Amino acid sequence: MVHVPMFSLPSGARANMKTAIHWLLPLILTGLGLFLVNLIWLYPALRNIRESASILALEISHRVETTIAADLTATLNDVQAAADDIASEPDRSSLILERLLRRHASLARVVRVERGGRELMRVSRPTAESMGESASAYTARPIFYAALQGVSSFDDVEISPERGPHTLLVTPIFRGGKAEEVLFVDVDLTGLTHAVREIPDLTGHMYIVDRNGVQVGHPDIAEVIKRQNFIKRPIVRKVILDGIVADGLAPEDEYVNEQGTRVFAVGFPIPIAGLGLIFEQPRSRALAGERQMMFFAAAAIALGLAFLSIILRSNIRLTRLNASMRELLTDLDNAGKMLVRRDLELTRANVRLEELDQIKSEFVSIAAHQLRTPLTGIRWSYQAILEEGQGNLQPEQRKLLESGLSTTLRMVDLVNDLLSVARIEEGKFGILLKKQALTPLLARFADLFSQRAREKGVAFLSEIARDPSIPDVAFDEEKLGIVFDNLLDNALKYTEPGGRITLRASREGDHVAIEIIDTGVGIPPGQMHRIFTKFFRADNALRLHTSGTGLGLYVVKNIVEKHGGTVEVESHEGKGTTFRMTLPVA
Amino acid sequence: MTRRISFLIFSSVAVLAIFAFVWLWNRYPNASLPEKVYKVGILVRGSGYEVAVDSYKRKMTELGYREGENISYDIRFVSAREELPRAVEEFLAEGTDLIHTYSTPATQAAYEITKTMPVPTPVVFGSVGDPLIAGVVRDFQHPGTNVTGVTSLSTELTARRLELLYEMNPSAKRIAMPHTAPENGDIAATRSVEIAEETARRLGMKLILLPVRAKEDNAAVAQRIMRQDADGMIVGGDSLVWGDIDMYIAQAIREKIPFAAFDLNQVQKGALLGFGPDIAISGEQSAVITHQILRGRSPAEIPVEVPRKLLLVINQATARAIGIVFPDAFLQKADVVIE
């Protein structure tokens, strides 16, 4: 069975998604958390702003509502009082009604109607229009029958372009405990317009609606004439139908008005006339503080998110850094352990090498000493035989003896070289420096090797400076002799007949420079770096089958450096070699 | 370490967020709690109230009560008076929140049963001739009981109906008035007779009273109303007579007697004219009162309302059939003219 993953991404995409989740998810979730946490202060703050706006608006509205209600109540009370007066003194009805009209400028006329609907008396202001109504005009009105039931009430508000808003107030006139007559009072409601105009200089306005939701009061009378019905507004229904105060805190107290402006509104019922007072203000002005709070909260959340992003980013960076550091430390640790192991191994190897070296040096020293004596004896024997048996030796015998002597001398040189090396390594190769002229030593070796060179057919030039002459140098004559001997011997050894050897010595500042220049076989460039090591002989030297221990230049370098000088070599294979050494002027 | 810090930060904020949410939830509980489903029982006795019931339901929908979602109606049309109490008890057994009634007997039945409850179920009437006389309220302004609503003025308007007959034909003197016999205890019917008598005296008319004791009497009583005896006919606020109004209408047309009935429905059936409330508007008024009660107001404090609109309805077809020509002035006053 092959398992096919339902959803798979390339590894790169998976890594990116993982990074994104690692980054974004905590950011989003914490952002949400920050938002909720901020609600702790934001929600109450917003509510407080709303409540403050509500309190202010309610205060203003309540003053106006109280004024209107008081006005209407006073009117109703006076009308009822007039009805009671008429009931007691029907003959003075006219006077009573005239007095009523004088007291209330808003009353246009009063009509006294008997139970059957017949008009008994009418008192009007001179400016009032004639109603010209018959009995049916009164009996057709439901409010007439309400009055016959003993109820005083305001009728629905009527609006005409000529008069504006007006209504009828009816009250019963009781006789014998029964409502026998009804007073119809024509009430001018343009006073409502004045009432809603008188608010402090705030944005927004008040308006009044009747029990059907029709606007009957507005600062602009032209708006009243339009007879707009606002019953669909929840706040109007709350005030008119439910008869409760709308404090602006409920969501339904906000609405978009006919101008398309979102408003914050409060409302008061005016139960006496079935009216409602609404005070609306543009929401942006009434609750201006909300926007500032929201902005502040948004800034706080943004700052929190920014701060969190910085922390997260730093954390991620540190995490990566830590991981890299850990890897590095692990590697270092491993490398360290490996180094420690290697160091231990090397130390052990060094100790063994030192031991071996010590053993070797001791062996060489002992062997050289043990060999030197018999070899010296053999050399003397050969020399004695050769010197004393001059006339008695056959040519072949002489030849054999000379060959033996030559071999012995080579062995003596080898032993001497080995002894020198042994002493150098043991630190017993003492140098006794003495300030003296170098020229005599140089001359002596020049003489010696010029002779030998001549015998080989090699030209020898000696260029020892005289003017100025070579200054005194502090040197060990025996040891420096070994140096010149080795260098000149090598030059002669590796220069073919017809070549040339030059010994040059001169002063260079506070040093004396000595050069031994030959036109010999030269040194292969790949082996130049080993020229001063022990037992080294170049390949071309080995091909020449020349004698040599490979220790001479090691001894030369050691002796020159112990004199405080330097030795260098410059060579071109097939063309020759130049050894240059310097010694400090004493 | 870094991962631990991130976890700590996130955990702290998450805990704070949960705390904030819980604190806010408790401090500022959501105002919009799950809506209650209201049950309204509608009890109708008599005919012609279908328009009112429809109008009532329509207005309730307008006010936010959606049938099947947050309100349910149980509508009962009952003709026999003795069945009214059982219907009320069935409403109450179903857990009805409010009873809406049409006619004085239906309202009285609902009041009599609910007034004894520890928390009386509110009753809103859409048509009661005179709730004071019916004894279901103590005062129009402050009912003082668990009953309020919209009066039909059927009792008071009896006078007006008589006046309309007089206006139409001042020479009409003898007016027949079928009515529930006083011993039946229909107070509205009895009061209607009183008002009719007062008005007739005032107008110089003579009232011919025809008592009806039971529903089956209507046919016989109707048959007795003849042209030779009556110049016109009226009815008062009388549910027993209204229940068989068709018989009286038919008789009036047969005998060519002008019949002043109560409402649009009766005139549509053939009465010559009618003066009464626009019961569709009364239904709406009842709905508003129902809304106020369901929102928490006490019926005892909600004033009884008179119908907001009274209609003068005339039937020209009937006028032609009985040889009547309405005066122009009369025609101008009519709110509805049925051709």
User: Residue ranges per domain, chain A?
Assistant: 20-286, 430-584
Lowest mean pLDDT across A302-316, A391-405, B95-109: A302-316
Residue A470: predicted pLDDT = 86
Find the range with the poorest average confidence among A143-152, A531-540, A541-550, B227-236: A541-550
Contacts of B28 in chain A (CB under 8 A): 43, 47
Label residue B33 by pLDDT band (50, 70, 90). very low
| Average pLDDT, integer, range B198-213 | 92
Average pLDDT along chain A: 86
Strand intervals (E) in chain B = 38-44, 71-77, 98-102, 123-128, 147-151, 174-180, 206-212, 232-234, 259-261, 273-277, 310-315, 336-338
Chain B contact set for A155 (CB, 8 A) = none
Domains, in order of start, for chain B? 38-152+278-310 (3.40.50.2300), 157-276+311-338 (3.40.50.2300)
Report CB contact under 8 Å: A242, B297.
yes
Is the per-residue pLDDT at A129 higher than 80? Answer: no
- Across residues A311-326, what is the average pLDDT? 81
A319 with B3: Cβ contact below 8 A: yes
- List pLDDT tens digits, range A227-246: 999 998 999 999 998 888 99
pLDDT beyond 80 at A211: yes
Subunit contact B160:A117, Cβ cutoff 8 A = yes
Contacts B310 to A, Cβ<8 Å: 140-142
Reported as type and span, the H/E element at residue B144 is none
Mean pLDDT, rounded, for B150-168: 89
Count CA within 13 A, CB hemisphere, residue B303.
Answer: 18
**Contacts A148 to B, Cβ<8 Å:** 156
Interface test with A, best of B1, B4, B10, B26 (most A CBs within 10 A): B10
Q: Lowest-confidence range among A96-110, A410-424, B44-58, B253-267?
A: A410-424
Contact A565, A581 (CB under 8 A): yes
Question: Is A34's CB within 8 Å of B13's CB?
Answer: yes
* Angstrom distance (rounded) from CA A391 to CA A385: 11
Q: What is the mean pLDDT of residues A28-43?
A: 77
d(Cα A71, Cα A277) in Å, to the nearest integer? 14
B231 within 8 A of B172, measured Cβ to Cβ: yes
- B159 contact residues in A (CB cutoff 8 A): 115-116, 139
Q: pLDDT of A92-103, one tens digit each?
A: 999 999 999 999
Residue to substitute from B2, B158, B311, interface A, most A β-carbons within 10 A = B2
Q: Which residues of B touch A269 (CB under 8 A)?
A: none
More confident residue, A91 or B8: A91
- What local confidence, expressed as pLDDT, does residue B126 receive? 95
Strands A275-282 and A262-270: antiparallel
Cβ separation B199–A308 shorter than 8 A: no
Give me the mean pLDDT over the B184-196 stretch.
Answer: 87
Is the separation of the CB atoms in B243 and B218 below 8 Å? Answer: yes
pTM value?
Answer: 0.62
Q: Tell me which chain A residues have a C-beta less than 8 angstroms from the C-beta of B303.
A: 151
For residue A491, the model assigns a pLDDT of 94
Kindly state the percentage of chain B with pLDDT values over 70.
92
Give the model confidence (pLDDT) of B249-266 as tens digits: 999 999 999 999 988 888
User: What is the per-residue pLDDT for A10?
Assistant: 59
pLDDT confidence of residue B186: 81
Q: Is the pLDDT assigned to residue B32 strictly greater than 50?
A: no
The reply to whether A112 touches chain B by the CB within 8 Å rule is no
CATH superfamily of A430-584: Histidine kinase-like ATPase, C-terminal domain (3.30.565.10)
Rounded Cα distance between B255 and B191, Å, is 28
pLDDT band at B37 (very low <50, low <70, confident <90, very high): very high
Which CATH code of 3.40.50.880, 3.10.20.880, 3.30.450.20, 3.40.50.1980 fits the domain covering A20-286?
Answer: 3.30.450.20
User: Which range has the worst mean pLDDT, A308-312, A460-464, A501-505, B307-311?
Assistant: A308-312
pLDDT band at B5 (very low <50, low <70, confident <90, very high): low
- For the ranges A23-27, A293-297, A514-518, B194-198, the one whose mean pLDDT is highest: A514-518
Q: Which residues of B touch A29 (CB under 8 A)?
A: 10, 14
pLDDT at B41: 97
Smallest Cβ distance to A33: which of B17, B307, B312?
A: B17
Q: Does residue B178 carry a pLDDT above 90?
A: yes
Q: Please report which confidence band the pLDDT of residue B10 belongs to, taking 50, 70 and 90 as the band edges.
A: low
Nearest-Cα distance to chain A for B255, in Å, is 29
**What backbone torsions phi and psi does residue B48 show, to the nearest 5 degrees?**
85, 5
Q: Residue B140: which of A47, A139, A151 has the nearest Cβ?
A: A151
Res A178: pLDDT: 85
Q: What is the ipTM of this complex?
A: 0.81
Mean pLDDT over B76-87 rounds to 90
β-bridge pairing A119-124 and A500-508: unpaired
A-chain CB neighbours of B6 within 8 Å are 26, 312, 315
- In chain B, residues with a C-beta closer than 8 Å to the C-beta of A272 are none
Q: Is A33 in Cβ contact with B13 (below 8 Å)?
A: yes
Does residue A43 belong to the interface with chain B, where contact is any CB pair within 8 Å?
Answer: yes
User: Quick check: A248 and A62 in contact, CB under 8 A?
Assistant: no
Q: From the CA of B86, how many Å to the nearest CA of chain A?
A: 32
Q: What percent of chain A has pLDDT over 90?
A: 42
- pLDDT value of position A297: 80
User: Measured in whole angstroms, how far is the alpha carbon of residue A273 from the centre of its chain?
Assistant: 71
- Say if the Cβ atoms of A47 and B3 lie within 8 Å: no
CB contact under 8 A, A142 and B292: no
Q: How many CB atoms lie under 10 A from the CB of residue B233?
A: 28
Q: Under 8 Å CB-to-CB from A346, ≥6 apart: which residues?
A: none
**Spatial contact of A107 and A184, defined as CB atoms under 8 Å apart:** no
CB distance A140–B312 less than 8 Å?
A: yes
Reported residue count of chain A is 586
Tell me how many residue pairs between chain A and chain B have CB atoms under 8 A apart. 111
Region of residue A535 (phi > 0: left; psi between -120 and 50: alpha; otherwise: beta): left
Determine which of A139, A155, A249 to mutate to test the interface with B (most B C-beta atoms within 10 Å).
A139
Q: Which tokens is A330 given?
A: 């692990």
Task: Please tell me the predicted confidence (pLDDT) of residue A28.
Answer: 76
Identify the residue among A158, A168, A241 best suited for mutation to test binding to B, counting B beta carbons within 10 A and taking the highest: A241
Residue from the list A36, A241, A319 with its beta carbon closest to the beta carbon of B292: A241
- CB within 8 Å of A582: residues ≥ 6 apart: A508, A511, A512, A513, A514, A565, A566
Residue A500 has pLDDT above 80, yes or no: yes
| pLDDT of B147 strictly over 90 | yes
pLDDT digits (tens, 9 = 90+) for A322-333: 888 888 888 888
pLDDT at residue A13 greater than cutoff 70: no
- pLDDT at position B27 is 56
